[in-house]
Amino acid sequence: MKMSQNPQETALSKCPGCEEPLEPGDLFCGACGYDLSAVPEPPQDHPTIAMAVSAENGAAAAARPPAARPAAVRFDEPGGSGDFELAAPGAAPGAAPASTPSAEASAPAPDPRTPAAELPSTPPAGTKLCVACRAGRVDNDGYCENCGHAQPRERDHMEQELGSVAAVSDRGLRHHRNEDSFAVSTTALPDGSPAVVAIVCDGVSSASRPDEASAAAASAANEALLESLPRGTHPQQAMHEAIVAASESVNSLAEEPGQAMEHDPHRHRNAPACTLVGAVMAGGLLVVGWVGDSRVYWVPDDRTNPPARLTEDDSWAAQMVSAGLMNEAEAYADERAHAITGWLGADAYELEPHTASFKPDRSGLVVVCTDGLWNYAESAAEMAAAVPADAQLRPLHGAQVLVGHALDGGGHDNVTVALLPFAVPPQGAGSACGNT
């Protein structure tokens, strides 16, 4: 979710300290830590608004005519129309990261003309070497002790496959860091049947430490589900509790020593924050839970059956459609369409987790993703068209293809997707995914 801090705030295109590229809304340079708050420049994106609403004006904000811009505290990229079929409110968010380090970037070797006395000594075997000078040791903060070059982040590209569930996350082509995170896991219910979990979180870039928020939320939600499902907690209740646990984990980041900034007038707005979406397959049920605008799609194995979107965004556009003030095409064409109205974080007015439970009557694929993907495949039909035909058998490859689809489309945001094949014995005709 690519966002700027505020409509009135600005952002630099490059860090004044190290000239690394920046994204609108960055408070500090991700490469060198330079404080960017004192050197503003006009914003360069049209993001989505994440709205903070008080108790008394919450309903009014949802019904505000489109001509009036709501109090915007966070923005995201604009998007097109979307489907809301099969969405059902009800319960919970959570999240966790799992990663495979990305390949280190190549870099030129030291100049052969440099006198040997000036070259750094060869580090001991097993020492992580700098990708830039290929000679200096990398310190615990991720910088070369020889040339000072910041090293590629492990989270720039992450992949994990666990049995039949897989997930891929990528920094994208325009962000200088990956603020998404995910967790995939498996466990067993009390009767010994399997349960599969996928959690995907999207850091709010206008907030402080969004990458930490998404990682904390993903981890907390995943751990909560792995603890509650084997005890026999109903999957929908377990999802709700996982979202609450994720929220508490993100909230705690704002209270860490040295991070609260007691005298900062913007400390609440800038508290670490993220969105969350998750799916659990257990006991023949598909349970989804979310807070924010990341989504879950259902793609039947038999593509002659219709796909569906199983979540409804916490966003300005969704509020306009729900209030009957605009149709979907009008709402999603508005520059405020992607303003999120729900997220996890200490600055969220109120935690409103959503959950829904479905009992599919045929096999299909569950797609759990951030807006970095669905911005390039927004409707259920578009998402189904982007999913490779063999994704049910090769979920990791399918997730890689979907990330590639977003990168080919422009890769303006971090991209994260998890795929969960849902196998059902053939039972004849019927609805592809029934809400319970």
What string of DSSP letters covers 374-434? HTTS-SHHHHHHHS-TTTTT-HHHHHHHHHHHHHHTT--S-EEEEEEEE------S--SEE
Task: Give the pLDDT of residue 36.
Answer: 63
pLDDT of residue 369: 98
* Beta carbons of 239 and 286 less than 8 angstroms apart: no
In this model, does residue 151 exceed pLDDT 50?
yes
Residue with the larger pLDDT of the pair 262 and 6 = 262
Rounded to an integer, the average pLDDT of 139-144 is 80
pTM above 0.75, yes or no: no
Of 406, 339, 332, which is closest to residue 372 (Cα–Cα)? 406
- State yes or no: pLDDT of 135 exceeds 70: yes
pLDDT digits (tens, 9 = 90+) for 408-434: 999 999 999 999 999 987 764 444 565
Contact 387, 395 (CB under 8 A): no
- Residues contacting 93, CB < 8 A, separation 6+: 217, 221, 242, 243, 244, 246, 247, 275, 276, 277, 278, 289, 290, 291, 292, 344, 353
The residue that leads in pLDDT, 317 or 343, is 343
Write down the H helix ranges in 15-87.
58-62
Can you tell me the distance from the alpha carbon of 420 to that of 367, in angstroms, rounded to the nearest whole number? 7
Q: Which is more confidently placed, 215 or 30?
A: 215
pLDDT band for 126, please (50, 70, 90 cuts).
low
Band the pLDDT of 382: cuts 50, 70, 90: very high
Q: Which of 34-48, 172-186, 215-229, 348-362 has the highest mean pLDDT?
A: 215-229
Quote the CA–CA distance of 436 and 365 in Å, as a whole number.
Answer: 18
Residue 34 DSSP one-character state:
-
Length of the chain: 436
**Confidence category of residue 32, pLDDT binned at 50, 70, 90:** low
Mean confidence (pLDDT) of the chain: 76
- How confident is the model at residue 73, as a pLDDT? 28
**In this predicted structure, which of 41-55, 69-83, 180-194, 389-403 has the lowest mean pLDDT?**
69-83
CA distances to 193, 274, 329, 370 from 201, in Å = 27, 6, 27, 7
> What is the spatial order of strands in the sheet that 165-170 belongs to?
157-162, 165-170, 415-422, 364-369, 295-300, 308-309
How many Å apart are CA 367 and CA 298, to the nearest integer?
6
- Give me the pLDDT at residue 258, please: 54
Residue 257 has pLDDT above 70, yes or no: no
